[in-house]
Structure 1
Amino acid sequence: MPTTPNPQHGLLWNPTIWGTLEPTWTIEPNIDIILKIAQRELNIPNNAQCDIRFLASGAFNKAYTISVGTAIRAAMRISLPVDPHFKTMSEAATIAYVRHHTSIPAPAVLACDASNANELGFEWMIEEYVPGRSLEEAWRGMSWLNNVEKKGFSPSLQELARRHQRRLDNLGMMDDESE
């Protein structure tokens, strides 16, 4: 069985029946602190009606919407420290790379903190909010031809094919120096 990585705030590694370790949240991110960070980073006045709502969670992240008045303004993704600093910085660099070098739509990173030495105690990233539904939701119940041709995936596949032709020199995470 693998050894448990160094202890990190908010993270517990639980053994699975397969002999691997699975990350688990031990505490929930504090909504009041998320609100404070959102107001500061997005220059939202203290007297503005600002609302934070849980959106979704995955293996390593929890996502929240940041609304001002009735409009969703941004999304905040809070990460477990599974690969402290590097995971968040690599994600921000990858998003910047995709936005700069492809026509694949990707939300802009508005602010991020790749350290858990902050008032929230977790790494976080605030991105443009892009409404829609997940590929998994869109894909269900559709034939392959509908998926590719009628739902607009064909241009995305063509873009991926073009990107495949421009290889990167190394394997691993992207960083600010990657180009």
Structure 2
Amino acid sequence: MALEPTHQIDQSELASKITLGGFNIDWTTEPSVEVVEKLVRKHLALRPNAQVKVTPFTASAFNSLFAVYCSKGQFIMRVTLPVAPKVKTSSEVATLLFIREKTDIPVPQIMAYDANVHNELGFEWILMERIAAVPLREKWAQMSWLKKAMLVQKMVHFQAQLFRQKLSNIGNLYKESDARNFKSRQQRNSSYDVGEVVLPWRFVSNPAVHRGPYKTSQEYVGVLLRLLLNDANKYLRSDDEDNIKQGENMRQVHDKLQIMVNRLFVHSDVPEVTALLHRDLNDANILVSEEGDLVGIVDWECVAAVPLWQACRLPQFLEGPTCDKPPTPPKGEAPDNMYMESLEVYEQKQLRKFFLEEMQRVEPEWMRMFQTERLRTDILLAIEVSDNEFIIGAVKQWLSGVVQGRQVESLTDAIRNSLRKT
């Protein structure tokens, strides 16, 4: 069946409510464990009498995961709601295939998938191998400094590999066979196409918006700004005073951002060079062995090809406040929580420094982008977080300094310092 992009959420499969504060989803029909087992048997070509165990594993807003145990190993069946029908599943599959083909980043192998809800399960699904490992957060505190440094070194290697796999245009990745009948099709990389962007939150609440692929940063950021303005206007149409105030703040942020976007993003007809960015390289999605060795990276849904200036960012597990000196251990008593937290912040800063030094050695162009394009990445962050009522004041203050040409700290630091004062 030809894959046609669509943006209408199938209400027969879920209950959803778009509110001024976000997007709420409830599962109205639970996936059948019996049907999941039937699909597993079929696609793993198991004998009729082979034992198969399927148990609920975890769940998120969009997905329900089932653990699968059988004679051929352990697997994960991820069942997803049609929040971005066909394209979300198809893009994730293509991204994982691309990474396995082009890099040595350890990602799950796809065993089978169905990007259409019109099947016996009634949901889109992906059957993939389960990596035998645990989340980094379960081992981090027990890992030696050497193990942590070795893991950081591997992350540099992996991110450099993604950076080197250059693509064209801004959007999500699809297999050519899936993307062949897309309404918007752009230049191919081997057997892959860059197509529409999948599932940023404001795209979900604005189903009619153009989702790409985008040719340039100017076009891409321009769409995000229009989405911000749309959401601000929704708040302004509310009868609630707090919502109206939030809408006014968002409108002011939009106007200042528009000034900066006009300065920083020039018009061009040349398609942008892009690379894949995994935004959530946190200690839940990085998997390690019992000994603390990095053995897998998961959660590749909604990973997009983005401009190179956006692709060069620290992995999330290394982001945090700055601490230049190690804390002094308490005398004559066991370390308390405050000391351990301060020590963790200091170690994180040192590992962050090591990451950047290693990246300079491995991929200098990544470092050049990281060092010179901070303002553009901060502008993008301002767009993304400006609907948060708790930090929009810090965003407004930071933007005022930027528009006036004053030397200012990074937006991340400005937000962190603002929250520290509250």
Question: What is the TM-score when the length of structure 2 is the normalising length?
Answer: 0.37
Contact conserved, 2:14 with 2:26, CA < 8 A, in 1? yes
Residue 116 of structure 1: aligned partner = 117
Q: Which residue does the alignment assign to 1:48?
A: 50
Contact 1:60–1:79 (Cα < 8 Å) also in 2: yes
Q: 1:59 maps to what in 2?
A: 61
What is the one-letter code of the residue matched to 2:88? K
Higher alpha-carbon Rg = 2
Structural mapping, 1:121-160, within 5 Å: 121-139=122-140, 141=141, 148-150=148-150, 152-160=151-159
What code does the residue aligned with 1:26 have? T
Q: Distance in 1 between matches of 2:12 and 2:153?
A: 43
- Over 3 Å counting, the alpha-carbon distance change for 1:20 and 1:146 in structure 2 is farther
1:122-174 C-alpha deviation (Å, 9 max, x unpaired): 001111121212244445x479x667415x23212222023213332121111
The question of whether the paired residues in 1 share the 8 Å contact of 2:110 and 2:127 is answered with yes
CA contact (8 A) 2:65 2:78 kept: yes
The one-letter code sitting in structure 1 at the alignment partner of 2:14 is L
Q: Distance in 2 between matches of 1:125 and 1:9?
A: 21
Is the CA contact (8 Å cut-off) linking 2:10 and 2:82 kept in structure 1? Answer: no
Unaligned segments of structure 1, at least 5 residues: none
Q: Deviations over 1:21-80 (max 9, x none)?
A: 1222112110011111111111112211111011111221111121125x7432111111
Question: Distance between the aligned counterparts of 2:21 and 2:115, measured in 1?
Answer: 30
1:13 aligns with 2:10: no
Using the aligned pairs only, state the percent identity. 31
AA of the residue aligned to 2:84: D
Q: Is the 8 A contact 1:65 1:72 kept in 2?
A: no
Structure 2, gaps ≥5 residues long? 1-7, 177-191, 194-422
Say which SS state the counterpart of residue 42 (structure 2) adopts: helix
Amino acid at match of 2:37: L
Kept in 2: contact 1:23–1:82 (CA 8 A): no
TM-score, structure 1 normalization: 0.83
Contact 1:9/1:121 (8 A) holds in 2: no
Whether the aligned pair in 2 keeps the contact of 1:104 and 1:156 (CA below 8 Å) is no
State which drifts further: 83-92 or 54-63.
54-63
Quickly say closer, same or farther: Cα 1:171–1:135, change in 2 above 3 A: farther
Which has more strand, going by share of residues?
1
The whole-number CA distance in structure 1 between the counterparts of 2:108 and 2:49 is 27
- Report the Cα distance in structure 1 between the residues aligned to 2:138 and 2:126, rounded to whole angstroms: 24
| Matching residue of 1:167 | 166
Residue 75 of structure 2 corresponds to 74
Structure number with the higher helix fraction is 2
> Aligned partners of 1:147 and 1:96: how far apart in 2?
29
Distance 2:32 2:26 in 1: 16
2:98 corresponds to 1:92: no
Q: Which residue in the other structure is 2:179 paired with?
A: none
Secondary structure in structure 2 of the residue aligned to 1:93: helix
Give the structure 2 partner of residue 35 of structure 1. 37
SS at match of 1:92: helix
Higher relative contact order (CA 8 A, sep 6+): 1
Determine if contact 1:89/1:175 at 8 Å carries over to the other structure.
yes
Asked whether the equivalents of residues 95 and 107 of structure 1 are also in contact (C-alpha less than 8 Å), the reply is yes
Helix, strand or coil at the partner of 1:175: strand
Q: CA RMSD in A?
A: 2.4
8 Å contact 2:9–2:83 — kept in the other structure? no
CA distance in 2, matches of 1:32, 1:131: 25
1:125 alignment partner, SS class:
strand
Letter aligned with residue 33 of structure 1 = V
Local SS of the residue matching 2:171? coil
